[in-house]
Structure 1
């Protein structure tokens, strides 16, 4: 009986795993889309007195999250910043800042930070974006694709590396939490790196040349 139950339950278990994986992939893709499209405007849901100086709150539903400085848990120094989901939190929230790209134009830049997670059911991570003077997105990447953190994890470093175009006007950086849990961030660094350090934006699988432009090549 136990064997029969195991064998008959395996398809259901597999289907549930595939469903969860699909939902997780959708969440990552949707978060990436929103972060790369919206203007990352500051939200007024957080009291500035609770935020680290120079940083602001943004996201798709920042009202579902809490933000602040933690003086009890940190990687170095005496404080870290955190995002904590409220009960039933949806969407995502980010603690971010923006600065001029002048000092980084034409250079390869790495954003790095130490992150720590507790009971994160979806994912948390870093993001980096370069805009032109009209707020058009020139470059964007986050750590959602295989470089995020989830569950409960000790301090670990995450990185995003991008080239800053000559027409770059502003650089936006941030750490992010999607869904339930809490994430801490500490020791953020923005630095120029050599061209030997690869960019992290994932373009694997993208074809080198256009194809089937006359639509006569059949279907996938």
Structure 2
């Protein structure tokens, strides 16, 4: 039996494997890009909804009692369960959690609202410890400051590089915003988008100095319109 007879099928199989790998790579890249785009879209939509949402309490509270002073809100809170966990916590004896039900969509949040009186004209930092299990999309914090007519004055969430996904140990997340003089209420919360579970513990709201930068994306906005006739060249 010749060497070619023996090695022919092996070489052929190797060539097929290489061709299959090379031709599948573009499809794999396309799938990865698609998933990344979908994730970014979900984050953008969540940010938009949270910044516009009136954040009214929901009647959906799950099978467990909510921590005193907190309420449930979100785009589809009925797709989630909420409560306190006496087995997993960062400190003390309990933590709060959000657990997605099978097929959960949009997002849900455990939130709290309080008057801005003590914080007007000051810079505040919202901090909390978060832990996740099998979070398919992302989990994080959000902070919103409204005026007396419920118009949003300041808003930020951790849907950027501060978000958490997958299974992660306890880690701290922060949001820093300035409270305007016309601020009437401050809303805080932790959030879960999509499948998985998030725990939250050791939440704090404190005044910080000007040396601590705000976390909201502050774009440089020009004072006057520019190049309205499109004759000013390109960037």
Helix, strand or coil: the match of 2:228? coil
2:125 corresponds to which of 110, 127, 141: 110
Q: How does 1:153-164 map to 2 (within 5 A)?
A: 153-164=168-179
Are residues 164 and 121 of structure 1, via their aligned partners in 2, closer, same or farther at CA, if it must alter by over 3 Å?
A: same
Instruction: Please provide the CA RMSD for this pair.
Output: 1.8
Deviation at 1:208, TM superposition (A): 4.0
> 1:152 maps to what in 2?
167
Which is higher, the Rg of structure 1 or of structure 2?
A: 2
Deviation at 1:218, TM superposition (A): 8.2
1:128 corresponds to which of 143, 150, 171: 143
Helix, strand or coil: the match of 1:112? strand
Matched, 1:201 2:211: no
Matched, 1:176 2:179: no
**Is the 2:111–2:189 contact (alpha carbons within 8 Å) kept by the matching residues of 1?**
yes
Matched, 1:45 2:60: yes
1:29 corresponds to which of 44, 49, 56: 44
Deviation at 1:45, TM superposition (A): 1.1
Are residues 133 and 45 of structure 1, via their aligned partners in 2, closer, same or farther at CA, if it must alter by over 3 Å?
A: same
Matched, 1:70 2:85: yes
Deviation at 1:211, TM superposition (A): 3.3
Q: TM-score, normalized by length of structure 1?
A: 0.94
Deviation at 1:214, TM superposition (A): 3.9
Equivalent-residue separation in structure 2 for 1:90 and 1:127 (angstroms): 19
Equivalent-residue separation in structure 1 for 2:195 and 2:121 (angstroms): 38
Deviation at 1:215, TM superposition (A): 5.1
**Is the 2:63–2:83 contact (alpha carbons within 8 Å) kept by the matching residues of 1?**
no
Deviation at 1:202, TM superposition (A): 1.6
Helix, strand or coil: the match of 1:192? strand
Unaligned stretches of 5+ residues in structure 2: 1-14
Equivalent-residue separation in structure 1 for 2:228 and 2:173 (angstroms): 39
> 1:9 maps to what in 2?
24
Are residues 137 and 19 of structure 1, via their aligned partners in 2, closer, same or farther at CA, if it must alter by over 3 Å?
A: same
> 2:35 maps to what in 1?
20
